[in-house]
Structure 1
Amino acid sequence: MIRDTSAQDQVSTQRPQPIWRRWLWPAVATVVVVGGIGYVASSWLGASRSFDGGRLRIAEVSRGDLVRDIAADGRVIAANSPVLYAISAGTVTLKVVAGDVVKQGQELAVIDSPELRSKLAQEQSTLAGLEAEASRAALDATLARATGAKMSDQAGLMRTAAQRDLDRYQRGFDGGAVPQVDLAKAQDELKKAQIELQHAQQDANLQSRGADLDARNKHLMAERQKAVVNEVQRQVDALTLRAPFDGQVGQVQATQHTQVITNAPVLGVVDLSRFEVEIKVPESFARDLAIGMPAQLTSGSGQPFPGEIAAVSPEVVNGEVVARLRFSDKQPPGLRQSQRMSARILLDTRKNVLKVERGPFVEQSGGRYAYVVTGSTATRRPVQLGVSSLGEVEVVSGLQPGEKVIVSGADLFGDNERVSIN
């Protein structure tokens, strides 16, 4: 006989649950999923395009001190490294080689120029002739003054004799021994002697002045020729190239015992006691640089040395300006040309300003706009930027602390006001 399951059944006293409780949690989960999909969809629909976030660099806006400085790597150059040139064409004989240490005044090279030496001899002969003529003119002036003085003295004696004759005739006329005609004749002779004395004195003066003028002209011609001789002598002396200071021979550009042309470079001399550091500064910082501005120079050992700006080039090349820094106190020992050094120039410090990392967005649209990131969406917002350093830029308005800004890669967005970031 087969038994049924009635012995296993039990009577339930619980009430059956309502149908809406059975579907409550699935409905809540469905609402959450639909809301998330709606939010994502609204973000995608609000953004005109979508971009890969891996190609962007995002920075956070913060508040703090903004240090405006310029940091650059430069190379050591000699502050004084002149190149010596040939004053005239000739055969060069080198006395040193590249790298030799030389003293001031030491012979470095000699140029043999027969043409220049012959010119010196000719000019010296001309000078000797002019000096002789000047001496002769001076002698002639002395003779002219002596002749004039002689004629004046003779005219004076004749006047004295005429005066004496007139006095004698006057006494005779007063005594009735001399007729009036002889007295009148004696008076005429005195006037004649006075006129001759006056003309003799004038002639002596004119002859003396004329002789002095001729002598002066001859002397000036001799002095002019002397200046020509001195100049040619200087050129002949310059045929021997000498070290202008204690230093080291740099590049030798002439070959031993070869013919060089006029004004051809022969060799260079480097002043080892004075070095400068040449750096290249972005064009945007060039207007902030000034001669004498303090700087800090760091050698390979890491030891800093104080310096200052010595010169700023007025020319912009490839968006950069060349500046030269000199050591204001002492320079590191053992410096060599083209050695690398780090330079840092402090412009100023802005206290407690709103700032953000500097990036290409500063140059885009003239720094008037920035893309602010909110979640997975970037919205373009007008901003106003202030001063900038190499790593940061001041935010004047348009952004708040804590906001995130796309500092690099925003050029991909074009003119879109709002974009989506994956």
Structure 2
Amino acid sequence: MSEAAGRSARRWLWLAVALLVAGLLAWAFRPVPLEVSGAEVERGHFVDSIHEEGRTRLRDTWNVSVPIAGYLQRVTLEVGDTVEAGQVLFRLEPSPAPALDARTRQQAEDALQAAQARLQAAQANLETARAERRFAEAEYQRYRQLHERNLVSTADLDQRLRERDRQRALENAAASSVEVARFELEGARAMLAVTSGQRDATGQPELEVRAPIGGVVLTRYRCCEGSVAPGDPVVELGRMEDLEIRADLLSMDAVRLRPGMAVRIHGWGGDPLAGRVRRIDPAGFTRTSALGVDEQRVPVIVDFADTRDPAAMGLGSGFRVELEFLVWEADDVLQIPTSALFRHQGEWTVFVIEAGRAVRRGVETGRRSGLVTQVVAGLQAGERIITHPGQQVSEGARVRE
């Protein structure tokens, strides 16, 4: 081979190597399709709902308290017991008198002796008054007989009559004094009988407090016997058929509700139950969330609309439930995941996957329910869209699911 031919062969060899290197570089730096997550635009059942936690409660409860001060006997009712209207809930008896110390006891003994002495004096005065009354009556009878024989004047007879009546009145006053002294003696004896402050187990009058309604015992504030003051609560009663649910919704959600709206009750430990919105309170309140944000909440009351009895299924007052307020629902609704939407030039937009490339398309949205949004215009069922599009996804970019 000549030298010229050798140089030509080497040029072709270097050319081939250069072309190979260029091809390898072009292959290495070619655009790689972006890995994206996609979803299909589909039609189906759509529910616009609001989810919130609630608590069961009784519409009305009755706190039965002590009407007067006294000594409460042991309450035998337990929480959950059924009571009938008019049934005795608990009994009260008079409070025991306080025990006497040595000084007070000595004073009581002296008062007893003084009462006995007064009684004896009153009895002696009564005997004297009786004797004077008998003498006055005898004198009156004697003067009456003498007056009939005209031996004494009428004035003398009237004086004896007046003396007889006066002695009768004195006898009655003396008898009353005896009764007063006897009562004082009994009181002194009763005071002296109180030595340890313990109540008498026999002959004590009792006050029976009865149930105002038929229901169940929700709370028992007192169980053991002891002294109580007026107004002290003893038991709380309620009717389980009055069970309802209270949920505190954000004010922006509460304005979307109306009385009579359907509610699904979940998360109570059994199959979902049906409910209805009964009342939306006209006044809200401020509650601080776990993140420290002040929220305006509105109480919403829900009634059970299920044919099954919630109480018979185990639900009681103060139970936690999860509520789904059904604001709107329909079939055959075009919908997409909410995560596919983003704002572009002030409009809602999605990236549609067409021939392996991302194509930006504006859409008109309708209702939104959590992770799903209704599409009114801009998309067709069966199209593929990109969910959670990042900043790397742009118009015309090659993508791969």
User: Which category of TM-score, normalised to the shorter sequence, fits these structures?
Assistant: 0.3 to 0.5
* TM-score calculated relative to the size of structure 1: 0.45
Bigger helix fraction: 1
* TM-score calculated relative to the size of structure 2: 0.47
